[in-house]
Structure 1
Amino acid sequence: MALNRLVNVISTNNTKPTWSRQAILSWCNKCLSSNIQKIDDLCTGAAYCCLMDILVPDSVNFSKVKFKCYMENDYISNFILLQQCFNKYKVDKSIPIYKLVKGKFQDNYEFAVWFRLFFEANFNKMPDGYDAMLKRNYQTLAKDLINTSKIQHGTPHSILPKTIRARSRTREPLMQDASVRVAPITAVARARANGGLSTDTNRH
């Protein structure tokens, strides 16, 4: 018979066991063959979608999961997929999506602790032949750290080497010093220019 319900769990401040941030990350990385470095990276929702797929294979449409996440809208889309899975399998949990996507540590840590409790309450064993990396087409689960706005809106001057930028702020003093000074033309110079003839009209 097809699975249509998962075990619900309630997480409180007194819930046992609890885990450190490092323990949560190690668990995620072991399950998903990933290299997530920070709890904050879980704010994309992609890792939770992958973990949900381990609990209920093919419960998540991976073609809709956004792994290359650049904006909060991408994160929201992933958590909506997760919430839809919760609703389908009667998981009584309302995901605080708009808190999680902000990437704040405490909110993401608390949800990660709850999700691990939920996962372990429902996990029996890895599905036969399950390859977490292959399932997500070898895509990363860490939040993309590239700030595209700096690339798009930066000026060419901002990416010039320091020596060139420093030079562009000067007034080229070397060129100013190289200006040519012309000496006054004397009578002797005029005579030499005229083939050695004197320009003195009183001389015979």
Structure 2
Amino acid sequence: MSDISSALAHFSDSERAEFNRRYDEICASENPRPVVDGALIDRFIDKYTAVHGTYKIVSKHSQIPAAVNDFLSTHDLPTEMVMGNTDFLQTIDWPDDWNIERRTACKTDVTSVTDAICAIAETGTILIASTPKVSATHFYLPENHVVIMDIGQLVRHLDDAMQLASQQLSEHSRGIHMITGPSKTADVEQTIQYGAHGPRRLHAIFVDSSTSAR
């Protein structure tokens, strides 16, 4: 900074005026964003599956329990889940014989189910908030994390997601969490290990009423 200040000291009035004009122009311009072409869901899936996330797209809200059951069956998991009390999760008609507990999660819980603020096509990231209705423990303690959202919650860029979060979250929100794939590390002998610092599986379910399920 001292070198810059020294250089500016030798500017003529016209040079300084031009410098200030260019500085103001740059500060006022929009920061460049990565190009995200095509359908947002396709870009999201490309980035998300690259970091070993799994997903399912359903065409109806009523198909959510079946999609969750498919995930549980694939990994031989019990129909026991912990989740929060968000308005969206309460609209889902879960089977009567499932064990659904609405509380904070603990390390012995196998599967958690949450909704999300949005999904970011640019990076394949899911943005979730911890609030009085959903605990951050749901995102980190169970070995399996299922996230459910509408396909309309996809946004193009990270800064779009942050703007959306600032609009939606109240002063009671405890924080936002950006999740890109299941937890993994290669700290030990450069061998990938899943579940080191959070869930070993991350499964996203999108409801897209405009198209057939895939």
Q: Is TM (by shorter chain) over 0.5?
A: no
User: TM-score, normalized by length of structure 1?
Assistant: 0.22
User: TM-score, normalized by length of structure 2?
Assistant: 0.21
